[in-house]
Structure 1
Amino acid sequence: MISEFQETLPHQVEALHPTMPPKNKYANVLEHLDSGIMLFDSEGTLTFINVQMAKLLELPRKSLAGCNLIQILLHPELGRFKKKKIMRIYRETIFHRKRYHELIDEYGRHWLITVTYGDQMHGDFLFSVKDVSDYKQIEQTAYQNDKLAMLGRISASIAHEIRNPLTAIRGFIQLLRPHLLQLGKDEYARIILTEIDRANDIIYEFLNSSKPSAPQMTVIPVSSLLKEVVLLTESEALMKGCQIHMEERAVPIAVSIDVKQIKQVILNIIKNAMDAIEGVGVDHSGEIQIGTQAAGRYVQISITDNGQGMDHNTLSRLFDPFFTTKESGTGLGLSVSYRIIKNHGGFISVNSVKGKGTSFMISLPQV
């Protein structure tokens, strides 16, 4: 009886799971890859496209079968942005024999495109497209950490060498100030002292960007901190042609923070917002909206302006040390802010559209 069972079992299993022809099996695997796949034959005709690639092109698969490159480019539903990218990849592949392409799409995602051709493909061209946004984010974070570590090493070596001479110069200028006053040149002394203080402030920012001091925590309602910041900035905002509106919450939310450090972060973001609004033009009615909300174990502080906004390139480098779009900026303010929020166990994010404005979101742990 057992021998009969052993003989019949393979046939029963085969009946339940018929063997799939290898060709169909491999096609099914390609269909459901998370990478986009396109195959052109030696005549330039599209012979295969998987589901993911059709989604990336935002075109129906049925309308692409049997098309050549020209017909795909002339497809009425293909966006202008994608047409330009396809043309660029075609030129670099055919004329420059480039097999790997990296691009950023209109949604800010990073893609790696690999082209396979040659004798092993018998004249066919295989295009595979993979979303590498996560890898790019990891790479960018590692790069950011490397730069901050380098910044720390540089700051440690130069801080002593610069601050000591500045202190000595400041002291001698103060000793000479009465003599300059007698000569009617006190304005020179004032300018020198102001510039020395500015240099010291830059060095302080520089040192903080590499290693901000450990937070001295105090429990405080978020609303009281924001009201104080609004009072400090509203007169400057009016001078720059904008108004600050703060959303009042019925139920206060408390956080444990270093008040001085978080105030520095919020002031920096609001001043950047004022500069962005001022850059639009004198006829622009600027507004800065400040709001708070609870989100799980975090409290979120949003600072939104209707200024000139930022493009993707600026956004991707916004928290990099020394990166600035201002003529007189040091490029350290947002880098310091990023590190301060991180040291508080929170995080900071930003969304911006060129010509429409920018929104910063600061998330801090609730008490």
Structure 2
Amino acid sequence: MLSEFQETLLQSVQAFQSTQLVKNKYENVLQHLDSGILLFDSDGVLTFINVQMAKLLELPRQSLIGCNLLQLLRHPYLSRFKQKKIARIYRETIFHRRKYHELIDEYGRHWLITVTYGDQMDGDFLLSVKDVSDYKQIEQTAYQNDKLAMLGKISAAIAHEIRNPLTAIRGFIQLLRPHLLQLGKDEYARIILMEIDRANDIIHEFLNSSKPSAPQKTVVSVPSLLKDTLLLSESEALMKGCEMRLQQINESLLVSIDVKQIKQVILNIIKNAMEAIEEVQGDHAGMIEIGAKQEGNYVNISVKDNGNGMDKTLLTRLFDPFFTTKEKGTGLGLSVSYKIIKNHGGTILVDSMKGEGTVFMISLPLTHQV
């Protein structure tokens, strides 16, 4: 009788130990997920938080276990930004029954938040947070490529239809110009011809934005490329009271590029930087810094200015064809630049904050002299 009791007790202990081992194993898995995990029980008390979530909140794990939501929001080291986001998620989950949320944090990263609750959770609330910044970047790139492809179809259909009548109008105006000159109205002819030429320039830029010509590549050193490009901008920068500074760059960095196209991209970015500086100049000393450094098999060329900067809404549309904030801009310069860099197997990114200036980063594959 006693031996049967001891055997049953031993089996119970072994079963408990086995269950505990399984529990520890799964808890260890949850602790090291790349997603943040929070678990609140049916009373609203935080019973589990993994390492990743503690890092995201920038709070020590042990100070959070046992807290309810109100205590979490009142944590002395929780930032005001995170307090607002947590409160918003709670409000939308409880009152609007939303289970999926997307937000951008103070560092510009995109997060997908999923809240699981209901009968399957026995009253508990499971909240998981995943960084989806890379997916958003891929989505944005695909969206941009789709728009450029559509732009190409439109331009192919209408470009010649516009150019042909413009050419005829220009020819007739030139024929009429001597008669207008006799009437003292030559100024009219000059203005008409100038406006027709401007329309042709816009059409040309429009066509290039949809399908820039294939790169005619040559191997050049990055320092010489940037020095030559700066020489083309120095006089304009001087007139606008803007200092340009080229950082020290490794002479061995080589790229295989269409020099004319890449210069076009960099000059366009520099011109935008000058205009951004003009908006806030006054006593403000304008500065454009250009540099380049190797990152793996790529070289990152940066153009940084201390101009007016841009807000996040503007940044999301920056490479859209025809989007511009300039009174006389066509909105094609940066969309053309995007396409040129893509055709070279590179990427172009921008980081900016209103009132803090802007940084453009062009990444191009390095090459080796054969």
TM-score above 0.5 = yes
Secondary structure of the structure 2 residue equivalent to 1:19: helix
SS of the equivalent of 2:158 reads helix
User: Any conservation in 2 of the 1:64–1:72 contact (CA below 8 Å)?
Assistant: yes
Q: Secondary structure at the match of 1:62?
A: helix
In the alignment, the residues of structure 2 paired with residue 185 and residue 248 of structure 1 have an alpha-carbon distance, to the nearest angstrom, of 57
Aligned pairs for 1:187-202 (under 5 A) are 187-202=187-202
Q: TM-score, normalised by structure 1?
A: 0.86
Which residue of the partner structure matches residue 327 of structure 2?
327
The 3-state SS of whatever aligns with 1:187 is helix
Change in Cα spacing, 1:322 to 1:52, as seen in structure 2 (3 Å) is same
Q: Does 1:209 align with 2:205?
A: no
Shift of 1:59: 0.8
> Following superposition of structure 1 onto structure 2, how do residues 15-164 of structure 1 map, counting pairs within 5 Å?
19-21=18-20, 22-164=22-164
Distance apart, 1:79 and its partner CA = 0.6
Structure 1 residues 176 and 284: CA distance shift in structure 2, 3 A: farther
Q: Contact 1:166–1:196 at 8 Å: present in 2 too? A: yes
Change (3 A) 1:138 1:247: closer
Moved more, 21-30 or 126-135: 21-30
Percent of paired sites with the same residue: 77
- Which deviates more from structure 2 when the two are superposed, residues 142-151 or residues 119-128? 119-128
Q: State the Cα distance separating 1:223 from its structure 2 match.
A: 4.6
Return the alpha-carbon distance in structure 1 between the equivalents of residues 99 and 333 of structure 2: 40
Residue 31 of structure 1 deviates from its aligned partner by: 2.2
Q: Which moved more, 1:23-32 or 1:220-229?
A: 220-229
Contact 1:155 1:206 in 2 (8 A): yes
Question: What SS does structure 2 have at the residue aligned with 1:141?
Answer: helix
Structure 2 equivalent of residue 337 of structure 1:
337
C-alpha separation in 2, matches of 1:144 and 1:60: 41
Which residue identity lines up with residue 36 of structure 2 in the other structure?
G
Letter in 2 for 1:202: I
**Does the 8 A contact of 2:222 with 2:251 survive in 1?**
no
Per-residue deviation, 1:227: 4.0
CA gap 1:225/1:193 in 2 versus in 1, 3 angstroms: farther
Query: Are residues 269 and 78 of structure 1, via their aligned partners in 2, closer, same or farther at CA, if it must alter by over 3 Å?
Result: same
Matched residue count: 351
1:80-104 C-alpha deviation (Å, 9 max, x unpaired): 1111111111111111111110011
Question: Are the counterparts in 2 of residues 241 and 282 from structure 1 also a CA contact under 8 Å?
Answer: no
Q: Counterpart of 1:6? A: none
Give the deviation of 1:112 after TM superposition: 0.8
Name the CA distance, whole Å, in 2 between partners of 1:296 and 1:47.
Answer: 43
Deviates more, 1:321-330 or 1:264-273: 321-330
Distance 1:97 1:327 in 2: 45
Deviates more, 1:114-123 or 1:343-352: 343-352
User: Which SS does the other structure have where 1:93 is aligned?
Assistant: helix
Unpaired runs of at least 5, structure 1: 1-14
1:304-352 Cα offsets, whole Å, 9 max, x none, are 2111222333334332333333333222211211221222233333333
Unaligned runs of 5+ in 2: 1-13
Normalization by structure 2: what TM-score? 0.86
Query: How much does 1:192 deviate?
Result: 2.3
Distance 2:321 2:290 in 1: 26
Report the Cα offset of residue 111 of structure 1: 0.8
Deviations 1:54-92 (A, max 9, x none): 111111111111111111111111011111111111111
Query: In 1, distance between residues paired with 2:182 and 2:305?
Result: 49
